[in-house]
Amino acid sequence: MTIGIVGYGVYIPWCRVKLSDLAEAWGEKFPFPVEKTVPFWDEDTITMAAEAAQNAINHAGIDETEIGAIYFGTTTNPFLEIQGSSILKTMIEVKTDTLTVDLTDSARSSTLSMIACMDAIRSGSIKYGLVVGSDMLVGKPGSDLEYLASSGACALVMGRENLIAEVEGVASYGTEFSGRWRSETQTFPRMTMERFVREQGYIHHVVTAGTKLMEKLEKKPDDFKYAVFSQPDLTYPTLVARRLGLTMDQINPGMIGMSVGYTGSSSVLLALATVLDKAKPRERIMMISYDNGGSDAFSILTTENIEAKRQNIVEKYLKRKTYVDYNTYLRFNRVFEKLPG
Amino acid sequence: MLTIIPICVSIGYSKSYRGDCMATAFPPYWRAIPGMHRLVGQKCKKCGKVNFPPRKNMICTYCGATEFDEVHISRRGKIVTYVVASRMPPGVIGPEAFAIIDTDDGARVSAWSTDCFPKDYGAKEGSPIKCDMPVELVIRVIGNPTPTPFYGFKFRPIME
C-alpha cells in the first residue's frame, strides 16, 4: 500500500534582511537580490514548528486526534533537556498517548523523520504521523555562514489515505564527514574550507544518493518534473543538477533559498512545499537532503487530490514581509543583548 | 462588567525574569497551559458567555453561575483598546503593544503584540496598531529570559 503526504504547512517569519545590507555592514559587496528571514525576537524553533504543524493539519483536513506520532527534526532545539516535540504536542492538541520523537543534531533530521514516520505507518502502529522540520540558524557575525543562516519551519502530515503525493522510493547514503559543526559550548557553527565541503561533502553525497534513487526505481532524470535540494549555498543545487543530468527548468522552481536563506532542517522541506504549491497531478519530484556526510533521496509523485487541496501557502507567507536593518537582525537573533539599567 | 486577568503579564514578565523566582514560577504556568497553549476557555452554561482565561474559582464573571463547558476560543478577533509600552524588562525587545481583543466568538482576551512595530524602531516599513484592527492570536515565547519554557498567545495583524 502506498504511503505519502496528506497535507503540508509552512511557517516563514515576517522580517527579512537583504544580504546586500548585511554585506554593507562589513564593508563588502553583495550584488544579488537575495534576502533571508529574521525571526521576531519572541520566536523559537518550537513556536515556528507549532504554526507550521497547525497549517499542515488544516491542509490535510484530518482530526488532530488521529495523529499517532510527532517527529520533530531540528538542530536548534531551545532546550537541551526538554523534548521539543512534547511541548509541540500540547500546542497542537493531539492525544496524550501520541508518540513524541525528537531527531536532532543534523539538518538532515527532517528527512530522517520522514523515513521513520513512513516506517511507523507501514508497520501499522500509527495511522497518521506528523513530521516537522524547524530551525533557527545564526551565523557568527562577519563569517561566511552568516550570509544564508536563517529561520523557517515546514510540517508534513503523512499517512495512507487521501494523499496529495505518494512517496515512491527512498535512497540514503552516508559517510563520516564533518564539514560544519557546533559543539555544546559553541554558540555559532564553524565550517572547514568551503571548497572541500562543496566537492567532497555536498556534491559527492547528494549525487550518490540521487543516482542510487534513480537506479533503485529505474528512472531517468527526464522522468522528474522537479528536483529540490537542501540549499546551504545557492550555487550548490546548480552544480549537483549538472552532475545528475537535470536541467535548470527542473531545479529553478524549488529555489526558495533566494527568498528565505538556508533554514537548516526545514530547508529541503520548504523547497518541497514550494514545488507542491505549483505541481500538477501525476508529476514526479526528486527531493534530496544533505547535512554533514549524509543524504536522503526521495521520489515523490503527486496525485489527483493536489488540485482540490491547493492553498498556495508558501506564496502567502512570502508575500507577508517587512525589511529590517542589520542592527535589528542582530538584536532579534540575540547576538547582542541589551543590559538592564 | 469586565474582568481582565492579564495572565501573560503576571507570569511571563513580572515573575519570570527575576532569577530567584524560578522554582515558584513554573507551577502557575503549568496550571495555565490549556489556556496559554491551546486557548481553552470556559463557556458558562447559564449565560453562554466565555470566560478567558479560565476562572480558577469556577464562578462566571458575567452572571455568577458555577457550571461551565470547556471551549476553544477563536484565534481571530478585533482590537478593543491598546497601549504601547516602551520601557520593557530585560530580554524583551520593545516597544510592544498590549491590547484587549474581542475574538470572533465573543470572548475577551488580553495579549501582547508580535510581528508588528507599534513604533518605528529599525524597520523600514512600520505597521501601526489601531482600534478595530483585525488580528489573530499566535503562539510565541512570552517569558524569553527565563530558563524554563514560557509559551503563550500574542496577537499579530491578520495575514491576507
Tens digits of residue pLDDT in A291-312: 988 999 999 999 999 999 999 9
DSSP 8-state assignment for residue B16: T
Say how far apart CA A264 and CA A135 lie, in whole Å.
6
Neighbours of B18 (CB within 10 A): 12
CB contact under 8 A, A322 and B125: yes
In a mutational test of the A interface, the residue from B71, B151, B154 whose CB has the highest number of chain A CBs within 10 Å is: B151
Looking at the predicted complex, does its ipTM rise above 0.85?
yes
pLDDT of B160 reads 65
Residues of B in contact with A338 (CB under 8 A): 90, 93
Global pTM reads: 0.91
Say how far apart CA A293 and CA B91 lie, in whole Å.
37
In chain B, where the domains are located: 7-157
Burial class (CB in 10 A: 0-12, 13-18, 19+), A99: middle
CB contact under 8 A, B121 and A78: no
CB contact under 8 A, A90 and B33: yes
Which residue stretches of B39-104 are H helix? none
Question: Do A178 and A266 meet the contact criterion of CB atoms below 8 Å apart?
Answer: no
Residues of B in contact with A43 (CB under 8 A): 140-141
CB contact under 8 A, A320 and B159: yes
- Domains observed in chain A: 4-164+309-332 (3.40.47.10), 166-305 (3.40.47.10)
Residues of B in contact with A327 (CB under 8 A): 122
Residues of A in contact with B142 (CB under 8 A): 42
pLDDT at B2 over 80: no
A93 touches chain B (CB under 8 A): yes
Shortest CA distance from A329: residue in chain B:
B122
pLDDT of A289 reads 95
Q: Where are the beta strands (DSSP E) in A93-225?
A: 99-104, 128-136, 151-159, 165-174, 180-181, 190-191
pLDDT of A340 reads 65
CB contact under 8 A, A337 and B123: no
A91 touches chain B (CB under 8 A): yes
CB contact under 8 A, B149 and A78: yes
Give tens-digit pLDDT for B57-105.
Answer: 889 988 999 999 999 999 999 999 988 887 777 778 878 889 999 999 8
DSSP 8-state assignment for residue A140: P
Q: Which of B38, B89, B93 minimises the CB distance to A91?
A: B38
A79 touches chain B (CB under 8 A): yes
Give tens-digit pLDDT for A113-148.
Answer: 999 999 999 999 999 999 999 999 999 998 888 999
**First-to-final CA distance of chain B:** 34
Residues of B in contact with A21 (CB under 8 A): none
Confidence of residue B18 (pLDDT cuts 50, 70, 90): very low
Run of H or E including B79: strand B76-85
